[in-house]
Amino acid sequence: MTAVAPPLFGGPVPAIEPGMVPGNPDESSLIPADMHPPVDLAEDLERFNGKLATYLKPEEITRVGAAYVFADAAHRGQLRLTGDPYISHPLAVAQNLASWHLDANALMAALLHDVMEDTAITKEQIAVRFGKVAAELVDGVSKLDRIEHQSFEEAQAENFRKMLLAMARDVRVILIKLSDRLHNMQTLDAMRPEKRRRIARETLDIYAPIANRLGLNALYRELQELAFSHAHPLRYRVLSKAVKGARGNRREVVGRIVEAIRKALPEAGIDAEVKGREKHLYGIYRKMRDKHLSFSQVLDIYGFRIVVKNRPTCYLALGALHALYQPVPGKFKDYIAIPKANGYQSLHTTLIGPFGTPVEIQIRDAHMHHVAESGVASHWLYKDESAIDQLQQKTHKWLQSLVELQSASGDSSEFLEHVKVDLFPGEVYVFSPKGKIFALPRGSTPVDLAYAVHTDIGDRCVACRINFETMPLRTELRNGDRVEIITAPNAAPNPAWLGYVKSARARSKIRHFLNTKQNEESAALGERLLSHALRDLGLALAKLPAQAWDRFKRASGARSQKAVMAEIGLGKRLPAIVARRLAEGVEVSPSAANEGRAKPAILIHGPEGVAIKLGNCCRPIPGDPIVGMIRKGQGLVVHTHDCRAIAKLRSERGNWVDVEWEPGITGLFEASIKVVAKNVRGVLARIAADIAEAGSNIVNISMDDDSGEATTLFFTLQVSDRVHLAHILRSVRRIPEVVRITRYVETKP
CA dihedral 715, 717, 723, 728 (to 10 degrees): -50
> Is residue 140 within 8 Å of residue 162, measured between CB atoms?
yes
Active-site choice (117, 404, 481, 746): 117
> Is residue 508 within 8 Å of residue 408, measured between CB atoms?
yes
Give the whole-angstrom CA distance, residue 6 versus residue 134: 26
Instruction: Report CA-CA distances (Å) from 459 to 111, 377, 466, 612, 624.
Output: 46, 37, 19, 22, 34
> Is residue 659 within 8 Å of residue 653, measured between CB atoms?
no
Enumerate the β-bridge partners of residue 485.
Answer: 464
Cα angle: 32, vertex 34, 35; to 5 degrees: 65
Task: Say whether 118 is catalytic.
Answer: yes
Closest listed residue to residue 302, CA positions, set 341, 360, 375, 355: 360
> Is residue 644 within 8 Å of residue 749, measured between CB atoms?
yes
What kind and span of H or E run contains 273?
strand 273-278
Give the whole-angstrom CA distance, residue 342 versus residue 333: 16
Closest listed residue to residue 219, CA positions, set 280, 286, 301, 264: 280
Enumerate the β-bridge partners of residue 95.
Answer: none
Give the whole-angstrom CA distance, residue 77 versus residue 730: 90
Give the whole-angstrom CA distance, residue 523 versus residue 535: 18
Give the whole-angstrom CA distance, residue 742 versus residue 749: 20
SS3 annotation, 320-373: HHHHHCEECCCCCEECCCCCCCCCCCCEEEEEECHHHCEEEEEEEEHHHHHHHH
What kind and span of H or E run contains 554?
helix 546-556
Active-site choice (84, 103, 118, 404): 118
Amino acid at 319: G
Enumerate the β-bridge partners of residue 718.
Answer: 670, 697
Sorted by sequence, the CB contacts under 8 Å of residue 414 that are 6+ apart come out as 511
The count of other CB atoms within 10 Å of the CB of residue 64 is 27
| Helix residue ranges per DSSP H, 376-471 | 378-381, 386-408, 412-423, 446-453, 455-459
Give the whole-angstrom CA distance, residue 473 versus residue 448: 10
β-pairing verdict for 697-703 and 710-719: antiparallel
Amino acid at 384: D
Give the whole-angstrom CA distance, residue 687 versus residue 668: 20
> Is residue 580 within 8 Å of residue 622, measured between CB atoms?
no
The count of other CB atoms within 10 Å of the CB of residue 452 is 19
* Residue 410 burial (C-beta neighbours within 10 Å; 0-12, 13-18, 19+): exposed
Closest listed residue to residue 307, CA positions, set 353, 369, 359, 261: 369
Instruction: Report CA-CA distances (Å) from 540 to 533, 558, 590, 601.
Output: 9, 21, 14, 15
Helices 104-112 and 172-186, interaxial angle, to 10°? 50
- The secondary structure of 157-200 as a DSSP string is HHHHHHHHHHHHH-THHHHHHHHHHHHHHHTGGGS-HHHHHHHH
| Helix residue ranges per DSSP H, 113-171 | 115-118, 123-130, 132-141, 152-169
Give the whole-angstrom CA distance, residue 507 versus residue 531: 36
State the catalytic residues: 117-118
